[in-house]
Structure 1
Amino acid sequence: MVWRNAVKIALAAGEAFGKALTKAVKEEIKVSQQAAERQAASSGGATREDTRQSANANARLGISLEESLKILDVKEPLKEEEVRERYDFLFKLNDKTKNGSFYLQSKVYRAKERIDEELINRGEKEREVEPKVEEEKKIEEKKAEEK
Structure 2
Amino acid sequence: MAKYLAQIVVLGAQVVGRAFTKALRQEIQASQAAAQRAGGGKRGAKAAATNSLMGMTTEEAQKILNVSKLDEEAVNKQYEHLFKVNDKAKGGSFYLQSKVVRAKERLDQEIVASKEAASRKSINQGEEKPGT
- In the TM superposition, residue 47 of structure 1 has moved relative to its aligned partner by 6.4
Gaps of 5+ in 1: 1-24, 41-45, 126-147
Larger Rg: 1
State TM-score, norm by structure 1.
0.51
Cα deviation per residue 1:89-141 (whole Å; 9 max; x = unaligned)? 0000000111110000000000011111111222269xxxxxxxxxxxxxxxx
State TM-score, norm by structure 2.
0.57
The equivalences for 1:26-45 within 5 A come to 32=32, 37=36
Which whole-Å CA distance do the structure 2 matches of 1:85 and 1:65 have between them? 17
Q: 1:58 aligns with which of 51, 58, 63?
A: 51
Q: Which amino acid aligns with 1:121?
A: A
Q: Contact 2:87 / 2:93 at 8 angstroms: preserved in 1?
A: yes
Which whole-Å CA distance do the structure 2 matches of 1:79 and 1:93 have between them? 21
RMSD: 2.8
Q: 1:120 aligns with which of 103, 112, 118?
A: 112
Question: Aligned residue for 2:81?
Answer: 89
Question: Aligned residue for 1:71?
Answer: 64
Gaps of 5+ in 2: 1-24, 118-132
Q: Which amino acid aligns with 2:99?
A: K
Q: Contact 2:82 / 2:100 at 8 angstroms: preserved in 1?
A: yes
Q: Contact 1:72 / 1:108 at 8 angstroms: preserved in 2?
A: yes
Following TM superposition, the consecutive aligned residue runs of length 4 or more in structure 1 with deviations greater than 4 angstroms are none
Question: What SS is found at the alignment partner of 2:77?
Answer: helix
The equivalences for 1:95-106 within 5 A come to 95-106=87-98
Q: Percent identity?
A: 46
- Judging changes above 3 Å, is the alpha-carbon distance between structure 1 residues 61 and 36 closer, same or farther for their aligned structure 2 residues? closer
